[in-house]
Structure formats: structure tokens, C-alpha cells
Structure 1
Amino acid sequence: MTAATPLSPSAIPHCKIAILGTGFSGLGMAIRLKQAGENDFLLLEKEAGVGGTWRVNHYPGCACDVQSHLYSFSFAPNPEWSRMFAPQPEIKRYLEDCWERFGLAPHTQLNTELCRLSWNESSQHWLIETRDGKQFSARFVVSGMGGLSTPAFPSIKGLKTFKGKLFHSQQWDHDYDLSGKRVAVIGTGASAIQFVPQIQPRVDQLDLYQRTPPWIMPKPDRTISERERRLFRRHPALQKLWRGGIYSFLEARVLGFAISPQILRLASLVARHHLRKQIRDPELRRKLTPDYVMGCKRVLISNDYYLALTQPNVSLITDGVAEVRAHSIVTQDGQERTVDAIILGTGFTPADPIPRGLISGRNGVDLVDSWPRGPEAYKGTTTAGFPNLFFLMGPNTGLGHSSMVYMIESQIQYVMSALQLLDERALDTVEVKREAQERFNRKIDQTSARTVWQSGGCASWYLHPQSGRNCTVWPGFTWRFRQITRHFDPAAYHFSRQPAAEEVLETEPEQQEARA
């Protein structure tokens, strides 16, 4: 293990709780703290405004693939959603409105990118250093940085030597006019299937490089009428009921993903029909037909992606990219295609969400080195060796079937319960026991082995590239995750300052989990 040199403690600005990021996780945590009467917290955001993923992802066609009324805070319902699946600008405005409505501006520092987070043993505080040289200290840190915040760049020979326009979908250059250009899109994931239909009519030629075809279902999207919005405004209980119905419908999909993957064969029939209906060319249809069990990779939804691929200016290329040259791309079969621009639709790095050198805990141990098999945590929230540090959207909290906001709110409740206990008992630090963390993750591994993500015959970003372990997705029902995070379980933790309190609190972790 490597050790980082700790930052020296000094008279720097201090807060009780530092929150990293202002997406759903960071804003949700800050709102709940404020509602509980806690105002000694600071929101640190690297961008010039709030919104997290929904601020930095603004490519054409960007939208949510979970229904709007569920993809929002339960404590801040929005009756004004214009569509069943909200487009990016609306979600961004919703988060900005929450930030303003709940009075978070005085607690927020924008344009403040985390450079280094180090635990200082002598002060029992976290020391925070930002890219512009500022320093802060905090008793607790809540990371809301998320798993879909770091773009994944492919390792392709010559990519850096390309002389045309090159950008990742998350870093979309709206000033670059694609009209009349020869454009190559590398990747056919969730982002690509949204922006490809948007840019296809504008470009002269679109070469789409596909490694593995995704399963694509029809998107049940529609406009939400003014009459419906008026009903939701006048009768909030009706909107809550609608939200509950969406949740129940989506939760049923866990039966296929995590309980019996054979159930997904029924859904795959719908996807195959969708493909046959929109793609008449048998050769193109063959290239777009997945050869793995549905659900093994993220299931996508679209009504216009397949149609875009049938247009005469689009070529679907399934031969792997051998190299990129100054103005062209060469595939494994030796074909060279001239291009003006390359757009990377290659997704993110949820299996390696924290870069090395960013976070160091006890004894200067880097967080990455504490995860030899890939990211892991206790209940997706705490990690041994890193006291007073909580993760929202941490390891194994991702979903393949429902709304991440539900999981985020569950974790926020768990963190709030932990902070309340520490305040009541006048405790300084809390750190999960390594044995509790290992026991929890053994159960995750055992459960994951039966899921479609590990038995479906594909390689996906759900699995860690080295260990092959599922370190991304929660392998079960979301209500079960809420159940085990509803109350903080002190038996799984070490505490400092008042050993007597620790002895009173500790019971067998198995008993705690059974009660959960």
C-alpha cells in the first residue's frame, strides 16, 4: 500500500460537515441537514453551478430513463414535469430550484474542485485541499460525487494524435457545428442512443462504431398534459400515489435481474419485436441483435435510435477500431474512413469512481489501495480505515431497474441517524469495523453470483475490470436496502472518545441486521 503525505493542520476554515458535490446526493444531504436544524455544513462544487451529472451532461437529446415523478426527491415533489421522462434541462432546473428554495446558497462554494482529502489523526478532522489552493477542515465528510461523474476514455492507438474535433459526450462542444461533417461516434451506450438520433439529420456522414449491441426497449414516453399537471398541483396526494405506482411497477423488474434471469426472456421478446419492427434490413438487424442475456448490460429505452441507423448517411461498423490517424479511423479489417470529428459515447467509470491520490485515510492509506478487489463499503456508505467519511451513491448502491434518488434518500437517512447518535453520545469519530464490512460484502458477492449481471454472458461496467466482482449494482429489491439503512447500527462500528458508550452500544452485528 502507498501512503500519501498528510496535509499539515493549520488555522484554516472549519465546518462540522463538508459535502462534496451538488447533484441529487449532495443537495439531498444538505436539505435534510437544514431541515434537522443543522447549519454548520459546507457544499463544495467543482462546477460553476449546481446540478451534478445533470449540469455537466448536456449533449443533444439528454434525458432521464426513469419516470420523472420517481426521479425526484420524495420531500420536494414537482407537479410541473412536462414529460413522463424528463429532459436534462428540466432536471437541472429542478435541482437548481431545490438549491434556491431550501436556502443552500450561503452554504455553497462553487468553482471549488477537490484536489485532496486527508484524514488528520491529531486533529481528528478531514483536511480538504482544492485545485485552486484553498484549504478547509471538517469533522465529517459526505461524498456526493457519484459514480457517473468521471468520463471513460478508450485506450485506442493514436487517439491523441487526431487532428480533427474530439470530445466526450459529457464534454459536448456546442460551439462546434456538426452540419455537413463526417462524424464518427465510438460507443453505443445510454448516451449514444440519445444523441445519435439528434445529430444524424445534421451530419453528412455518421459512422457508428459498435462493440456490443445493447438491448433496447420501446420508450413509453409522452407529454404530461396541463390537465394532469393541474391535478398534481391541486392534489399532492394524487401525485404521491402516481409515484408509488411507478415505483411498484419498476421494482417488479428485480425478479428478472436478481431473482430469476429466465423471466427476462419475456422482456427480450418485446425488445426483439421492437428491433424487427424498426429495422427491416436483415444484415443490419443481425448486427444489432445482442448475444447475451437481457439485463446483463444496462437495458436501454429509445423510440428513434434504430430508425436513425436506417438512414442512408449512417454506417454501423462492428469491426473493432485498430487505430486513429490524423484525419481518419482504421478498423481491424484494414478499412480506413476519413472523419472530421470523433464523439466518444464511451460512458463513465463507476467501477473505479475515485482516482488514486484523491482520498487518504488512517496512516495515509490511499482509498484505492484499501479496495484491492474494487470499491466496497458497508451498506454502500462507510469504509474501514476512513473514519467520519460517508459515501452517497457508494459501492453497490447503483440500480439497473429503478430510481437512484430512492437509494440516495435511503443512504441520507442512514447518515442522518449516525450523526444524531454521535451528537447524542458526544462521540468524536465513527468508523465501520473491517469484519462488519467484509461480512456485508461477502453477502453481496453471494447474492450477485445469482444475478443476470454476473451470469448473463457479457462484460459490463457493472463489474470491476480486474476482479470481475459486482461493485456497482445493488443485487436486490430497493425496499430491502431502505430497510437495512433506516436506522444506524452502532454494533458494526468503532467509536472514539467515550469507550464506555461504545461498550453499551455494541451487540452482535448479526442481531442488528436481523432486526433490520
Structure 2
Amino acid sequence: MDEDFEVVIIGAGMSGLGMAARLKEAGRHAFTVLEKAGSIGGTWRDNTYPGAACDVQSHLYWYSFGEQPDWSRTYAGQPEILHNLERFAAHHELAEHIRLGVEVTRATWSDDDGSWLLSTSRGERLRARVLITAWGQLSRPAWARVEGVDSFAGTQVHTARWPDDLDVTGKRVACIGSAASAVQLVPAIAEATGRLTVFQRSPNYLLPRQDRALADDERAALLAEPERYASLREELYRERDGWAAGLRDDGNPVREQFQQVAGEHLGAQISDGELRDRLTPDYAFGCKRVLISDDYYPALSRDNVDLVTESIVRIEPEGVRTADGRLHEADVIVHATGFESLNRTGGVEIVGRDLLTLREAWKEGPEAYLGVSVSGFPNMFMLYGPNTNLGHHSILFMVESQIDYVLQALGALDAGRGRTLDVDPEVQRRYNEELRRDLAGTAFAAGCGSWYTTGEGRVVNNWSSSIEAYRERTAVFSPRDYVG
């Protein structure tokens, strides 16, 4: 074995960096962060497509600890978020703990010495008492599964793998997909393209974004008065956590209000009745991810932009063929088709007790206890694990609750010499049964076929309620929930 660590973290995105910083704050320095890419940043490193930005307010989309960034806008773009992540890592002196270009291929639990044995693509072997996965839910791009996809004679890209040198000026661009990344990309490139064709499988609910640049005096006041900064975060936090009620499937007034706002937003920005009909969802509000944009609808109204709702039957060398027989010629095809949200093993073969693999344990869909621990995989903790995604708020508040929980678990391990922590399978079963019952009352379970669910309709990505409810549930680590 090459090296021993107390903790190994896989992934140097926002979750992994946050965990690393908190470990250092707690005086725990015997850890390393393994990142397969050549730089840190996770999703904010990978998603560099034009218009990429966060759909949570800047002052809410950050850790509650450490230095607060000087945000330039109410909603930050990808370059600014990545820059602040790099500053965060430097501020907490994390570079000495991060190994770039190191891909973990296998992690195997050993009952003999109570540790995880890790192998990397470079032939390295590491031992860790505790394994923390921080590879997120949306890290592996999903390309459109269409006949003839490899036959296209032009350029094909995925929004999460946008080439630095791609110039779409004057070109015919086909955008397959019309959801979260598309509503940012389309307005950003529409004016430059010769022709932009957007292929929509189903319409989305859009709410106004109301983004704006922050004035210099606003920024200066927030940085000079930490209590003002904290007050703004708290105000935004409380407002958005109240939105969780709008995702319940019980006809509550919050949901009805949001649906009305979305309808008014569409009506105000799209005057063409036929186009407006094609952009009107026929499913429950919140069943699919609710999007925010001020410029997507106006972009679709441009003379050089077409919205196509006919289904795609195949891709040909010259472009995209739809079910009505029409060939939509293109020079560039953009796959704005999201991620493999059910492939939650990060590309790593995780082998727990009795040679049980995580892939096998999750053959009917990912599940965990509190989204953090999986029975049969001792001393392994997940950040942004199953059923911890949100439809209304900043995921970082969920992740911080998980980080606090993991730190408590480390303390429990310290308190028991030679101890291991493997969540009791009955505890995990009861928790997930309760969670599924609660999720049944949400819009996520309304049957619209979103990426939140398995093919059988089981919600495996999202939390069922407010962040406050999750915080309360994870506030105290209970060793009684775990066996040795």
C-alpha cells in the first residue's frame, strides 16, 4: 500500500472543497482530495457553454463559513463562480491536499483492517479509514440517444463539454433539448448564429429571473458590513425555503401562485398564440425542474430562431430529421440533454462488505440513509447523495448539513477504538419508506418522466420538503443508527 490517510475525498467540486475546508478547520489534516480532472471546480469547471450561470441568487449560493465573495450580479455566471471557488481553495490552503489528474477506479472495503483500499488509473494504491464521495448528481453528460448520431458531418458538442474554440457565428446550429442549460445557451448565441433551431420534447415552466448587475456601492456596503451580508442571506434563505410548499401536490396557494406567475411571464413575452401554446406545459408545476429566465422567450421570437416540437427520428450527415419528414440542416449540433442522473457511482467501482458493489445495491435505484450512508458500505459517506437534490433552493445548505453530520461521525469513530460505522439496514429501510411516502405528496412524483425519477417512477434524486426539515433530521449524529 502506497499511502495511508484518515480520510479520502473523491471529487474537488463545491462539495469536496467544502468538506476539505471543514476538515482543516476541525484540525484534521490527514486527508487527501482526489480529482480526476486537471483542475478543481466540478460542475463550474465543466459547464463553460455561453450563458452558463447559477439559478440561485449569488449571495445564497455559497458556504456559510469562511470569506464571503464580492459578487458582481444577483445571479452569478460560471466564470465568476469558478474564480471564487479557486479563491476559496487558496484561502483555506487546500492545494497541498488536492491531487489533480487522479481518477479513482476502484474502492474496496476491508473488514480485516477496517479501511477502504483505493486504486487509481495511475496504478496508485491508497488506504483510508473513511471514504467520502463528492462527485455530485450531475457530473456525467447524457448525449441524445438518436439513430445516426455518429453520422453527422459537422460539429457535435455537449453543453457540459463546450470547446473553448467553438465559434457559432453565422452557422446553422441545432440545439437538442430545451431545459436548464438550453434556456441559458439559446439567448447567449441566438444573435450570432445564422440559424438556430431548438428541438423541444416538452415545454418547461419558466419564472422571471430579474437578474441585474450590483452597483459598486451595494457591493462595498455588503463587504464592509458583515451583518448586512448575513441579513441578506437570511432573508433569501427564508423566502426560498418557503417555496418548498409550492412543490407539494396538494393544491396549496404557493404552488398556484407560482403557476400563475409562470403563465403571466409566458403571456407577457410571447405574443404569438401558436408559439405560446407550444410553450405551455401540460403537466403539474414542479414535476420537472422549474426554470428561470428573462431572455429565453424573447430569443425564441427572433426571426433566425425556430422552435421545433416534432420528435427527432434520426441524425443524418446534413442535420436532424424529424417525424414530419423534414430535414433541419445544421453545421453544429449542441446536445443540451443533461446528465446521467441515475448513474450515481461516479464511474468508480465501489465494493463494500461481502463483495457487494454499490452498483448492485442500487440496481433498483439509488438510496441511502439521510442521503449520506449506505448499508453494507462502512465508513463511507456521501455528499449530495440520493434524495438530497432540491427544486427550490441552494444545494449548498443541504451539503453543509451533510458535512456537519460527517464531522460528527468522525468524532464517533474517534471515540471508539477500532470502530466502524455501517448504517443499520433496518434503519435505512424505514427511513426510505418514510421518505417515499412523503415524496408521493410532491409534484416530483406526478408522473411527467423527469430526471428526478427512475423508469418506474420512483423519486431518487430529490428531498421531499424544506431545507429546515433536512437540517433538523441531520443535526445530531446517532451512533445507535449504525452497527459495527
The answer to whether the Cα contact below 8 Å between 2:384 and 2:398 also exists between their aligned partners in 1 is yes
Q: 1:237 to 1:47 in 2, by over 3 A?
A: same
Q: 1:472 to 1:261 in 2, by over 3 A?
A: farther
Q: 1:28 to 1:356 in 2, by over 3 A?
A: closer
Shifted more, 364-373 versus 434-443: the winner is: 364-373
Cα distance in 2 for partners of 1:95, 1:261 equals 40
The answer to whether the Cα contact below 8 Å between 1:150 and 1:353 also exists between their aligned partners in 2 is no
Cα distance in 2 for partners of 1:77, 1:289 equals 42
TM-superposed deviation, 1:265 = 2.1
Equivalence for 2:16: 26
What SS is found at the alignment partner of 1:73?
coil
What SS is found at the alignment partner of 2:313?
strand
TM-superposed deviation, 1:327 = 2.0
The answer to whether the Cα contact below 8 Å between 1:354 and 1:368 also exists between their aligned partners in 2 is yes
* CA displacement, residues 427-472 of structure 1 (integer Å, 9 cap, x when unaligned): 43110011100000001100000101112x411011112x311111
Letter matched to residue 180 of structure 1:
G
Q: 1:265 aligns with which of 256, 265, 273?
A: 256
Cα distance in 2 for partners of 1:30, 1:239 equals 24
Q: Does 1:154 align with 2:144?
A: yes
Cα distance in 1 for partners of 2:146, 2:346 equals 21
What SS is found at the alignment partner of 2:248?
helix
Letter matched to residue 379 of structure 1:
L
Q: Does 1:411 align with 2:402?
A: yes
TM-superposed deviation, 1:357 = 6.0
Q: 1:130 to 1:60 in 2, by over 3 A?
A: same
Q: Does 1:473 align with 2:459?
A: no
Q: 1:213 to 1:352 in 2, by over 3 A?
A: same
Q: 1:152 to 1:417 in 2, by over 3 A?
A: same
* CA displacement, residues 342-361 of structure 1 (integer Å, 9 cap, x when unaligned): 10001112233226762121
1:420-431 equivalence runs, <5 A: 420-431=411-422
TM-superposed deviation, 1:46 = 1.3
Which 4+ runs in 1 deviate beyond 6 A? none
Q: How many residues align?
A: 483
Cα distance in 2 for partners of 1:349, 1:251 equals 27
Q: 1:261 to 1:364 in 2, by over 3 A?
A: farther
Cα distance in 2 for partners of 1:473, 1:216 equals 20
What SS is found at the alignment partner of 1:487?
coil
Structure 1: tracts of 5 or more residues without a match = 1-10, 496-516
* CA displacement, residues 248-280 of structure 1 (integer Å, 9 cap, x when unaligned): 000111112136344322211111111111111
Q: 2:129 aligns with which of 139, 148, 159?
A: 139
Cα distance in 1 for partners of 2:103, 2:69 equals 34
Q: 1:261 to 1:463 in 2, by over 3 A?
A: farther
Equivalence for 2:311: 320
Cα distance in 1 for partners of 2:76, 2:68 equals 11
Q: Does 1:350 align with 2:341?
A: yes
* CA displacement, residues 399-419 of structure 1 (integer Å, 9 cap, x when unaligned): 000010000000000000000
The answer to whether the Cα contact below 8 Å between 2:141 and 2:160 also exists between their aligned partners in 1 is yes
Q: 1:487 aligns with which of 473, 476, 484?
A: 476
Shifted more, 77-86 versus 118-127: the winner is: 118-127
- TM-score norm. by structure 1 comes to 0.91
The answer to whether the Cα contact below 8 Å between 1:118 and 1:361 also exists between their aligned partners in 2 is yes
* CA displacement, residues 43-67 of structure 1 (integer Å, 9 cap, x when unaligned): 1111111111111111111111001
- TM-score norm. by structure 2 comes to 0.97
Cα distance in 2 for partners of 1:238, 1:427 equals 47
Letter matched to residue 24 of structure 2:
K
Equivalence for 2:272: 281
Equivalence for 1:47: 37
Q: Does 1:304 align with 2:289?
A: no
Q: 1:210 aligns with which of 181, 190, 200?
A: 200
* CA displacement, residues 90-128 of structure 1 (integer Å, 9 cap, x when unaligned): 111111111111111111101112222222333322122
TM-superposed deviation, 1:174 = 2.4
The answer to whether the Cα contact below 8 Å between 1:373 and 1:469 also exists between their aligned partners in 2 is no
Cα distance in 2 for partners of 1:101, 1:355 equals 28
The answer to whether the Cα contact below 8 Å between 2:5 and 2:30 also exists between their aligned partners in 1 is yes
Shifted more, 54-63 versus 349-358: the winner is: 349-358
1:194-209 equivalence runs, <5 A: 194-209=184-199
Q: 1:287 to 1:304 in 2, by over 3 A?
A: same
The answer to whether the Cα contact below 8 Å between 1:73 and 1:405 also exists between their aligned partners in 2 is yes
The answer to whether the Cα contact below 8 Å between 2:105 and 2:120 also exists between their aligned partners in 1 is yes
What SS is found at the alignment partner of 1:253?
helix
